Every structure is written in C-alpha cells, then in structure tokens.
Amino acid sequence: MKTNYFYQVLFALFISSSVFATENAVKEPVVISGTKFTYPLIEKWIAEYEKVNPTANIKLAVKSNGGQTADLNIIAHQPAQNELQPNQEIIYTGRYALLPVTNNNNPILAATAKKGLNKKELDKLFFEVVDYDNDEPVQKSKFRANIYSRDNQACASTALAGYFGHQSSEIRGKKVFGDDIYLLSAIKKDSIGLTYNNLGYLYDVNSRNLKEGIALLPLDLKKEAKSILSGNLDEVLNVLEANRVETVPVERIGFVYSNQNARKEVSAFVKWVLTDGQKFNHDKGFLNLDKQALAEQTNLLSERFLTLK
C-alpha cells in the first residue's frame, strides 16, 4: 500500500508540476485524462472555465494513464459491457463525427466522384471480417487502398467499428500509434492511404477549411447533406447536427468519473461544461449534444451529485 501511494504521489508530481503542499493549504487539482483527440476541446473548456472561476485548478494529464489517478476520464466510444467499474458513471458532454479521408492524389477520388460510397461500400473498404465458422462470405472492396487506423483500443477506432457493426480488430490495414492526428501524416505520405478522422483534426480550426494534402472520400449523400463534402467546418457541423447521415458515424464524448470519490470541484466543472461550455464545442470541431440529451445529462449529474455527502 505504501509503495502504491508513493507512486501515485510521484505520478501526480510529474503530471501536475504543481507544488505539493498539505491538503488543506492548496486545493488538489482536478485531473482529467483520456482520449487525446479531444484535448483541444478540453483545454479550451478548462481555459474558459478558469477565466470565470479563478480559484479552479484543473489539469489535463500529458499522457493517457489508464484512468487510475484522474478525477475525470474522457471517453469517446460506447463502453463495452465490463469496461466501467461498478462505481463509475459517464456524463456525456459533446459529440464528434468521423469522416473518411484520403491522400488528395488517390485515384479513388476520381473513381467515386460521380457517386460516392454508401455505407455498405465503406464497410467493405474499411473492414475485413475474420470468421472461422464461415458465417458470412468474405467481401472485399473493389478499390485498392491502404487503410490506416489507430490501435484497436483507441476510442475513434472502437466508435468507427461499432457504427458499422464490427470489432475494431476487423479494421483492415496498418496501425498508427500516438494520436489520431498522425493518421493524417500517414495518408499524406501514401498516395493510396485512406483513414478516418474527427472534424477537429480534419479542418484547420482557425481558417475553418480542410487541411492541405488531404481530401474527403466522396460519400453517397442526400441533398441536404451534400455540403459535408464541400462546406467549411461550420457548415459541416451544422449539417451533421441537423441530420442523421447514414455514412457518417457520430459518437458522443463524455467524462467517466467514479461516484465514490467524486468531488464538488469536479461536478462544478462538468456542470459548467454542460451549460456554458457547450458554446465552445463548434470552435474545436465538435458537435453539441442536442437539447434533450443535454437536459438528461444535466439531470443525471445533479441526481448523482445530490446523493453525495
């Protein structure tokens, strides 16, 4: 036990770089950790929150640490059955969309320009089902592509696979370790490279335009959603918030917290994110929760925290 405590303390030292004093003198920081592609949004939330709450002390862990020492862990996929501890809860605070993207020299762009890919074709392109019982025949896409994806445990991989009814291990191709942003580095080097990514990484959040060297894979879209392929970040966000688009996976992001050692500083921050914080989602390429979901999450938060001592 003593050793464990020592490492926890040591770890907290590394991640916070704050001065460690007695518990009563300075507030222990609220530590947030998790899926990295959400960090730009989380950082924005923290910065804006600290503007209105100068005494708040919220830190974002530099590296994903398995969620053992953080107060809040960011999750960006549907948790598997036993993924959460019995005492853990999720409060959802936003959404993100995944778009298929490729090197802007990829011949697939011309081949699919007339009629974009539908959900089934995307499925064939991205996934390969390994089934030893020969349940269903192996279907291969007619397009040649090198698929890049994050490791199987990464949130976006899990979300993408889940949307198409697969396991993340069934995504074809090469893996990229580090961060979802590197998927774009990989396809920029490979003329037939193909990947998916969230809007915050696909678009330059300042200019609101698609980043250079990459192109969105043409999708089979209905009239009202056509602007996903051509519009700027804000247009895309608006279309996706207004419509359910079959070819575009949209997944929620949320904070996992343990209701055993939840602190008031934590609930205050989450509550702010659910209210005032929402207006910064678009800024970083994330979708808002719809009104009903937002109300549900707010209720959930107050219910859970009201029961706390």
Least distance (Å) between residue 167 CB and another protein: 8
Q: Does 135 bind another protein (CB under 8 A)?
A: yes
Q: Does 61 bind another protein (CB under 8 A)?
A: no
Q: Does 4 bind another protein (CB under 8 A)?
A: no
Q: Does 2 bind another protein (CB under 8 A)?
A: no
Q: Does 235 bind another protein (CB under 8 A)?
A: no
Least distance (Å) between residue 87 CB and another protein: 23
First CA to last CA distance, the chain:
26
Stretch that binds another protein, among 20-28, 180-188, 199-207, 218-226 (CB under 8 A): 180-188
| Nearest residue to 204 (alpha-carbon basis) of 236, 226, 227 | 236
Angstrom distance (rounded) from CA 245 to CA 28: 43
| C-beta neighbour count of 12 within 10 angstroms | 18
Q: Does 133 bind another protein (CB under 8 A)?
A: yes
* Nearest CB to another protein, comparing residues 158 and 297: 158
Q: Does 182 bind another protein (CB under 8 A)?
A: yes
Q: Does 26 bind another protein (CB under 8 A)?
A: no
Residues 62-121 that bind another protein (CB under 8 A): 62-64
Angstrom distance (rounded) from CA 294 to CA 144: 42
Least distance (Å) between residue 144 CB and another protein: 9
Q: Does 3 bind another protein (CB under 8 A)?
A: no
Long-range pairs, 290-293, Cβ under 8 A, ≥24: 290/241, 293/92, 293/252
3, 177, 223, 244: which one contacts another protein (CB under 8 A)? 177
Angstrom distance (rounded) from CA 127 to CA 161: 8
Angstrom distance (rounded) from CA 305 to CA 185: 42
Q: Does 139 bind another protein (CB under 8 A)?
A: yes
The answer for residues whose C-beta is within 8 angstroms of residue 80's C-beta and 6 or more apart is none
Long-range pairs, 51-56, Cβ under 8 A, ≥24: 52/272, 52/276, 53/268, 53/272, 55/27, 56/30, 56/265, 56/268, 56/269
* Nearest CB to another protein, comparing residues 176 and 240: 176
Stretch that binds another protein, among 147-155, 201-209, 250-258, 277-285 (CB under 8 A): 147-155
Stretch that binds another protein, among 94-102, 132-140, 240-248, 269-277 (CB under 8 A): 132-140
The answer for residues whose C-beta is within 8 angstroms of residue 107's C-beta and 6 or more apart is 192
Return the half-sphere exposure (C-beta side, CA atoms, 13 A cut-off) of residue 266.
Answer: 25
119, 166, 175, 304: which one contacts another protein (CB under 8 A)? 175
Q: Does 186 bind another protein (CB under 8 A)?
A: yes
Instruction: Catalog residues that contact another protein under the rule CB under 8 A.
Output: 10, 14, 62-64, 128, 130, 132-140, 142, 148, 151-153, 169, 173-179, 182, 185-186
